[in-house]
Structure 1
C-alpha cells in the first residue's frame, strides 16, 4: 500500500533551482513507496495555508530553505500535520540542527526510515500562532538583520557557505551600536550593543551557531547579545560563530527565557528564519512541543 505525501516547493529558493529538483525528489519518494502530490507555492502565505488546510495524518515534505520551513511550520502548528524538511535552500539550518544530511537526495531516501519528533517553535509578535510569525531557527535585529539583507542580495558567484560572511562584511561599513533593553521573563537587562539574536534552534547563516546552547525541546528561547565591541572584532568573531564558542559572558552575553521583549528607541528590521518580517515585532515567545517533524533516525 502506497503512502501519500505532499511535496511543497518554494519556486524562488536558490533563485529557482528547486523547480529542477522536483522530478529527482519525486522519483526517490515514489521508489520508496510514497504516493506524491506536488504543490508549488505562490507566496509565503500560500505555503502556510497549504499546511493549515492539511489533515492531522498528512505528511508535508518541504523542498526549499529555512524560510519555507518556517511558513509550512506555521500552518502545521494549526492543523497538527507532520512536516519533513528537505535541504534545498542555501542554508537549510533546520536540517543541520536536526542532524539530517545536507544532500537533498540522501535526505529524501532517509524519509522511509525516519521517525517523528516534537519540536518547540518561536513566535514573533503578540497573539497566538494564527497572528504571530512562527520561526524555527533565529529571529534577529540589529547587525545580523542588516547582514541578512545584504546576504539575500548576494551575487550568484558567492558560495552558499560564504553568503552570510559576504553580508556581514558589507554591514561593517554601515552598522552602529545602540542602546538595547531586553525584558526576559520579567527581568530587565540593559546594554549598548550591535545585535540581538533570539533563537529556537539557534542556528542560521548556513551553519552559524549564534545561540550555541539552544534546544528545540526545552520550551525556552535563547538570546545572544553582542555588546559594544570594537568594529574590527566582528570579522574576527566569525569562525567562533560556526564553532559556537563566541559567547564569553562579557562582550557576547547569553540569556534564556519563555518570553523576550525588546525595548529600544528604534527596533529596526526584524528577520526570522532569514525572511524580513512585514512588521517589526518586539515580543518573542516559545511555544513548546508545537510541531511534528519527521527526522532521520540516529
Structure 2
C-alpha cells in the first residue's frame, strides 16, 4: 500500500486546501494507506518537504492550486519520485490538463491504484533568479500583470478574480516589443503577451494553447499581437474555448528552448506565481516528472 506525504498550502482558495484534504484523507486511510500531512510556510519550504518525502520513497501530494503544484512538482522533477495533485486553489490548471476529477472518491482511486506516468516540466533560467522548474506555463506580459492583481484580490476567487485582474491590467497596458527565440530562430513580436505552454490551460481554465500536451516533449509558444482594446477583450472571451487561435492577431510556434526578451521590464510568471521580469530562458524537460493521473 502506498505511503503519502501531503504538502498543503493552508491559504489556497481561501483555506480550501485543508478542507479538500479532509475527505480525501479519510478515503486513503480507510483503504490502508499511510498519510502524513505537512503545512507549508512558503514555496521554498514546500519544495524542501517534497524532496525529503520523495527521497524516502513516499508519494508526494501537492494540495492547493497551481502555485504549490508547480513548486512541489518542480522540486520532484528529475528525481524519480511520484507526485499526486489534490486541486484546491484558485486556478487548478495543471490538474485540469491532467483530467483529474474533483470528486474525492474518484481522486482517491487514482492516487491508490494508478501507475505514475511521465509528464514534461519546464526549466526556467533567469539572470537574476536561481534556476527553477515549473509545470504548466510561463507567461510574459499583460497576463502576468493580471495574475498579480488576481493573487492580491481578497474579495474574488477563481475565474472572477482572474477576469477582474485582466480588466485592471489591460486598462493601463501598452504594447511591448519582444524578441522571442525558439530553438535558435529569432522572431520579433509587438503586443500583449508571450506564453510558453506545457499545459493547455492557464488563468483558471482559459484555453491558451489548445494543442499543448503535457507529455509531447515540446512547448507551444503563443504570441498575442497588439490590437485595439475592444478587440483584445474579444480575444479574452475566446480564451474560454481556445477559439482565439484562429484570429490573425495570434501566432503559435513550437519548440524545446525559448528565450524571451522585451524593450522594457515586462513581468513574467509561472504556474500562477509572478516574481520576476524579462529576460528569461525556458527549456522543456521531457518526461522528467512521474505523476499519478
TM-score interval for Structure 1 and Structure 2 normalised by the shorter chain: over 0.9
Q: Is the 8 A contact 2:208 2:242 kept in 1?
A: yes
Deviations along 1:172-224, one digit per CA (max 9) or x if unpaired, are 21111121111111111112111111111131111111122111112111111
Q: 1:91 to 1:281 in 2, by over 3 A?
A: same
TM-score normalised per structure 1: 0.91
Aligned residue-pair number: 291
**Counterparts of 1:214-253 in structure 2 under 5 Å?**
214-248=212-246, 250-253=248-251
Structure 1: gaps spanning 5 or more residues:
none
Q: Is the 8 A contact 2:66 2:89 kept in 1?
A: yes
The residue aligned with 1:4 is: 3
Q: Secondary structure at the match of 2:240?
A: helix
Q: Is the 8 A contact 1:56 1:79 kept in 2?
A: no
TM-score normalised per structure 2: 0.92
Give the CA deviation at 1:126: 5.4
Q: 1:4 to 1:166 in 2, by over 3 A?
A: same
The residue aligned with 1:188 is: 186
**Distance across 1 between alignment mates of 2:279 and 2:69:** 20
Give the CA deviation at 1:85: 0.4
1:55 is aligned to 2:55: yes
Deviations along 1:101-137, one digit per CA (max 9) or x if unpaired, are 134554234422323210000111159xx94221211
Q: Secondary structure at the match of 1:14?
A: coil
Q: 1:217 to 1:74 in 2, by over 3 A?
A: same
Structure 2: gaps spanning 5 or more residues:
none
Deviations along 1:46-84, one digit per CA (max 9) or x if unpaired, are 111122222273201111111111111122114321000
Give the CA deviation at 1:260: 0.7
Q: Is the 8 A contact 2:195 2:223 kept in 1?
A: yes
Q: 1:118 to 1:164 in 2, by over 3 A?
A: same
* Aligned alpha-carbon RMSD (Å): 2.0
